[in-house]
Structure 1
């Protein structure tokens, strides 16, 4: 079977959209599954539907590992082509969309192809930079030097790239970049710009360069939202047989996708999202949309999954088929979380409806135990703000969000601590791992034999977990203790039923 290539597709009589030749107008730091299923999908769609006519140069930001599978080589062997499957539910119907993505021109490595990467900065047609170098990618490392080939940190690499651009075109207007940061940290674009400016100062690159960075480049903070499941290892052979070609970099993700870009409205003149009918929003402030995602989508996960696991469920999709668990989640979203948010209620409810469809995705087996990782910090970031907002707005406790804290305590409680972590037992009888910071696991192990009253008090008063003493919230400690007793005596499922009564 031949590898996926333009020639292979031609020989097979492929009739879908392809863009074989176009100028390289985008450089993308990050060649992984997420960016290829999200940003590159949108670019490919703009090429087809809005005559964007742009190719993307992918850059691996980390050094290759000798002997390991090299995604760069695999992408280049397929001339940048790959098959993307977007799957899920829309309006209650199963959806399985297949598309051959053709916007990628080539893939380079920042270490083995340093000069080739830097040469891209000399391309006058290059205008856009996108990046996703993981949450740890946007960090300032003072040990980086300008002479490094390349600098170890991503912001250091970007500073080197921007300086080559500045050297090539000087102060010529319009030769800066529109930079779209997609890392999963707060204010990703602004944090990236701060790091770049630090390197410019540390390396003594001059006031003119600093002024050029600030005047000619737009660092956009963005919110990205799509679950990407990556290479479908279990079904790859069947998909290749079905397609009639070998694709070693095929990608999969959910059909839902939403991108919020913080920046001037002029961005829409350069990136024809609207013309292509894509779910991309350009706004002066992306934070309300991030808050919506964190509090509704992530908050629904965190408030529901620990209780659902204790009630005997294992994957999210099955939880959505149980009327009690689904009802608990929906009550938390519609009656307790949405009233605390600032966007128009209709927008919030539309987003909430999409969340339920996403959780029902028949193509993703999203394990509850996977979502349970680091639940302490997740509850603090995703649930606590809604609980506090509800108390401030309504003057009473939200029953489902209060119950979620009891589920958390029950999930972490009664376990045995070993070198590998904390192991607990659920009512079903099986042992399960609790994964969190070591000091948190040691805390719960130390309180293993506490009474419900003592355990709840210890957890609620642990301000190091929550950034505050939760016993200061009127009635919370008493309510959580009562909920924990229901879980211990009658089960987590019964507590969910009680919340719906």
Structure 2
């Protein structure tokens, strides 16, 4: 067991990097609940928050102006709205290119945990979990820069090492599969390539990186979120957060210094996160993307609209039931019940999560969320027809987006628009689609994959044609 907070007079700080909605609806909320319900030891913990990039400065500055306090608005599937003032962020650090305030906080003895929320692409890892040393951001940081999570942490931990700041836990709070071990491997490679041998040795002996699985649907706040918060609470909040009422946090018990007693407020502290992580990523994350791509093709704007559509719901249900569940058994989780809970959550009309948000970064999501089930199904000598529907939906989505038939702002960190157009203009677009090793890994250009996606693409196009035909007859 890792040490919990001991009776102390001084504060215990979590330095969190990334002040977006997801962190504030999740980790910050759990710590707020602990501080509010716990004894003096629990209240000794607080969050100091900062960012690596300046693209969120308006929200970050609004949070600073409110002294770190903000409102969390939650919606249950049956429409119950609740508003909670969150005060676990006790300090908001100003952004600066040299990250001086992050380095100062992270090197202090009061800081016992450095946590961070980044996107899958923010880890800069290839399909073999090796550092993508060709990426311009990584290249810049290997040359002494400080623009990635690796460069920033190298600066923080080097200052901590020199200052005698003591052991510190590096805690991932995001959706990357095997986030703790994959981050640690990427960071070790970064330190090696940057010739920081002394720091690498210090990191190996003075830090741990527990894995974690986090789950709470957190859409971008809508323009009227501030108005609802003001009407409900009287607080003119300039940076509120909205999320579903459901929340889950499973954390590997692998902390090198003290940690908050999160289990008191519902977090699960376990020896292995793996079964929970695999269920969440394959059942929830992959299906979320499925509903977003299919819903956009069907003309819907919001996730709940697609989740309530019988044909789209069947795509999602068949994918989980026929391919995912057999891949995950045996499991400590009741996977059929979990499937039903997830699909019910997606149908919540009060969240108003947009397809545009969830549909983004499709190539990365295929790699992380969908490819493992395809691989497992092929290993069982099964034809994963239900799973192949997901990449086929994404390919149909891209085709219509490039043709200007989808009026959304699609963004992808792995492929730019020119590369997508070139892929779709190939003599065999499906074969070209299945040829990117960054997406498909060991399945790249596999005849079984190409055949499955080709058949599924036909199914998707027939489905779309049927919807169009029905629409014409109705009109």
Band the TM-score falls in, shorter-chain normalisation: 0.7 to 0.9
TM-score, with normalisation over the residues of structure 1?
0.73
Kindly state the Cα deviation for residue 462 of structure 1 after the two structures are TM-superposed. 4.6
Q: CA deviation at 1:298?
A: 2.5
Per residue, is there more helix in 1 or in 2?
2
More deviation in 198-207 or 215-224? 198-207
Aligned to 1:182: 173
Q: What do the CA deviations read for 1:78-137 (whole angstroms, capped 9, x no partner)? A: 222111112232xxx333222111112111135279555444356433311111244454
**1:214: Cα distance to partner?**
1.8
Question: 1:283 is matched with which residue?
Answer: 271
- Structure with larger RCO (C-alpha < 8 A, sep 6+): 2
What does residue range 382-461 of structure 1 map to in structure 2 within 5 Å? 382-393=369-380, 395-404=381-390, 407-408=393-394, 410-413=396-399, 422-423=402-403, 425=405, 437=415, 438-446=418-426, 458=431
Give the TM-score, by structure 2 length.
Answer: 0.76
Shift of 1:440: 3.4
Q: 1:251-262 to 2 correspondence within 5 Å? A: 251-262=241-252
1:23 and 2:11 matched: yes
Gaps of 5+ in 1: 1-20, 416-420, 448-453, 495-501
- Indicate conservation of the 8 Å contact 1:222/1:259, yes or no: yes
Tell me how far apart the structure 2 counterparts of residues 33 and 309 of structure 1 sit (CA, whole Å).
24
1:287 shift after superposition: 3.6
Is the contact between residue 47 and residue 90 of structure 2 (CA under 8 Å) also seen in structure 1?
yes
Q: 1:243 to 1:156 in 2, by over 3 A?
A: same
CA separation in 2, counterparts of 1:387 and 1:294? 14
Give the drift of 1:333. 1.6
Q: How does 1:221-370 map to 2 (within 5 A)?
A: 221-264=211-254, 270-276=259-265, 278-284=266-272, 286-344=273-331, 346-370=333-357
Give the Cα separation in 1 of the matches to 2:67 and 2:408. 45
Q: Which has the larger radius of gyration?
A: 1
How many aligned residue pairs are there? Answer: 440
Q: Which residue of 2 aligns with 1:111?
A: 96
Answer yes or no: is the 8 Å Cα contact 1:64–1:70 preserved in 2: no
Which region of structure 1 is more displaced relative to structure 2, 289-298 or 300-309? 300-309
SS at structure 1 position matched to 2:32: helix
3-state SS of paired residue (2:37): helix
- Are the structure 2 counterparts of residues 371 and 441 from structure 1 closer, same or farther at C-alpha, using a change threshold of 3 Å? farther
2:112 to 127, 139, 145: 127
The equivalent residue for 1:57 is 48
Secondary structure, aligned partner of 2:319: helix
CA RMSD of aligned residues (A): 4.0
Cα distance change of structure 1 residues 369 and 129 upon mapping to structure 2, 3 Å threshold: closer
Deviates more, 1:331-340 or 1:178-187: 178-187
CA displacement at 1:356 relative to structure 2: 1.2
